[in-house]
Amino acid sequence: MKPAPFDYHRPASLRETFDLLERYGDDGRILAGGQSLVPALNMRLATPRAVIDINRLPGLDAIRLAPEGLVIGALARHEAVERSPLVREHAPLLAMAMPHVGHEAIRTRGTVGGSLALADPAAELPACAVALDATIRVEGRRGRRDVAAAAFFHGIYTTALGPGELVIEVVIPPAPGWRSAFQELARRHGDFALAGLAARARVESGAIGEARFVFFGVGSAPLRARRAESAVAGRRVDSEAIVAAQRALAAELDPPGDVHGSPALRRHLAGVLLSRVTTRLVEGRS
């Protein structure tokens, strides 16, 4: 299929972008990597009056270290994040997650800002952002504001972005002493996950001090499993601790069913992921 006709704009500055967003309102759509928007246009699931291509906005693709942490620009491609030595050193969880995002061709175009703004419940990056206690920096005509990742994802394809606002960058605070682990289960490599888990923990003498378990694909937004986190906190991780954490997790999960998997399957997979990831965190394996 071909898209419905639309005006095409390629602004050269943020100011020009905000002007266009104001002019078109809900009828203007930002184009970043286009890996989600272009199929939606072609299938006429989206029929905006204007497409506003932000690929030429200067400086938004940088990955840099700042006093506040690792800063990744909205236009950084998935592939750039995957290959970045700074990401590997300061946010290894992201480096582990990136190879699971679609296929290589998709990762060469798809952007960090696009994935965060889209907020697909089965996407890897939103869950990583929550697990990393990241901040999502957004900007509109009225200025910049910082939103904690934990408060950014409201539901299926729904975020804290206001009208006329763009995701500008994501800031990942330093976390010395934390280990990361990432696992997902999908029908085929490159598919969206049936269930996935982005995790971090402080591990001391074989025991987990503090943990972040953030699941994706099992709800309408990234799900921080606080009960499972509490079940392992301060404990040596043995089979008893893992069973306790799985029980705690079962009580806080209410996964959806669809053509890809039933709620029962997703619940089971989440428990398997929790066991694998907890073991890896303690053993220091990703």
> What's the closest the beta carbon of residue 30 comes to ligand FAD, in angstroms?
4
- Residues 14, 147, 167, 218: which binds ligand FAD (CB under 6 A)? 167
- DSSP character string of 186-230: -SSTTSPPSEEEEEEEEEETTEEEEEEEEEESSSSS-EE-HHHHH
Contacts 24+ apart (CB under 8 A), 228-237: 228/252, 228/274, 232/201, 232/208, 232/278, 233/208, 233/209, 234/207, 234/208, 234/209, 235/207, 235/208, 236/206, 236/207, 237/206, 237/207, 237/208, 237/278, 237/279, 237/281, 237/282
* Residue from 252, 265, 210 nearest 235 by CA: 210
Of 37 and 203, the one with the shorter C-beta distance to ligand FAD is 37
Of 22 and 238, the one with the shorter C-beta distance to ligand FAD is 22
**How many residues contact ligand FAD, by CB under 6 A?**
29
Structural contact between residues 76 and 111, judged by C-beta atoms closer than 8 angstroms = yes
Q: Does 101 bind ligand FAD (CB under 6 A)?
A: yes
Torsion angle, alpha carbons of 37, 162, 168, 219, to 10: -60
Of 52 and 237, the one with the shorter C-beta distance to ligand FAD is 52
Q: Does 97 bind ligand FAD (CB under 6 A)?
A: no
- Residues 69, 73, 110, 255: which binds ligand FAD (CB under 6 A)? 110
Residues between 3 and 42 that touch ligand FAD (CB under 6 A): 29-37, 39
Of 36 and 180, the one with the shorter C-beta distance to ligand FAD is 36
Region binding ligand FAD by CB under 6 A among candidate stretches 159-167, 226-234, 244-252, 276-284: 159-167
Q: Does 171 bind ligand FAD (CB under 6 A)?
A: no
* Secondary-structure breakdown of the chain: helix, strand, coil percentages, each rounded to the nearest 5: 40, 30, 35
Residues between 62 and 81 that touch ligand FAD (CB under 6 A): 74
Give dist(CA 56, CA 240) in Å, integer.
Answer: 54
Region binding ligand FAD by CB under 6 A among candidate stretches 5-13, 118-126, 219-227, 264-272: 118-126
- Residues 80, 123, 199, 218: which binds ligand FAD (CB under 6 A)? 123
Q: Tell me which DSSP letter residue 111 carries.
A: B
Of 120 and 210, the one with the shorter C-beta distance to ligand FAD is 120
Question: Applying CB under 6 A, which residues contact ligand FAD?
Answer: 29-37, 39, 74, 101-102, 106, 110-111, 113-115, 117-118, 120, 123-125, 161, 166-167, 192
